[in-house]
Amino acid sequence: MKQFLTAILMGFFGALATLISFSFHLPSWVLFLTWVSYYLFGKSVKSALQTLLPLTCGILMGITIKLFGSSLSIYLGNFGFPIAVFILITSLSYLSKIKRLENIPAWFIGLIIFFGVHPKIEIKPMIIIFIAISLGFVFAYLNDTMTRLVVKK
């Protein structure tokens, strides 16, 4: 019976997350990617908040790669973007030594989100991305919390 209730909860929260993301034109895959991140990086509010910083840095790195790569492409053609990627990803080895920025997979999730969504570098598209990210963590937390309550009984 507990397994059945756990499955129902997971289905309910997944369906509700999909309904909300579709209703508000949010990238649902971003929501589900951050939902997975919640489980991968510790299953707690604290770990989600700690994941949010390097994930955000990954998005900022994506913006920097896009801008820097575009600038380099003016002079270097097709080599501009790969050189920007090389320089910035190389810097990640050093940036990840900074306390609270050490989660390299979260950096790459941020990069995946940025390059997957291909947003204009403007405030509104960034807000939409962060709403989807936040909802992913919220739904993961709700699902995890409710599942733990069911399993305890």
Give the separation between CA 141 and CA 36, rounded to whole angstroms.
11
> What is the arithmetic mean of pLDDT over 10-24?
97
With contact defined as beta carbons under 8 Å apart, do 141 and 87 qualify? no
Task: Please give the pLDDT value at position 48.
Answer: 95
Angle between helices 123-152 and 45-76 (to 10 degrees): 150
pLDDT: is 1 or 35 the higher one?
35
Taking CA atoms, 86 is separated from 6, 106, 128, 147, 148, in Å, by 44, 18, 28, 42, 43
- The 3-state DSSP class for residue 44 equals coil
Question: For residue range 60-79, what is the model confidence (pLDDT) as tens digits?
Answer: 999 999 999 999 999 999 99
Q: How high does pLDDT run on average in the chain?
A: 95
The model's confidence at residue 2, banded by pLDDT at 50, 70 and 90, is confident
101 burial level (CB within 10 Å; 0-12, 13-18, 19+): middle
Residue 1 has pLDDT above 90, yes or no: no
Q: What angle do CA 122, 135, 34 make, to 5 degrees?
A: 85
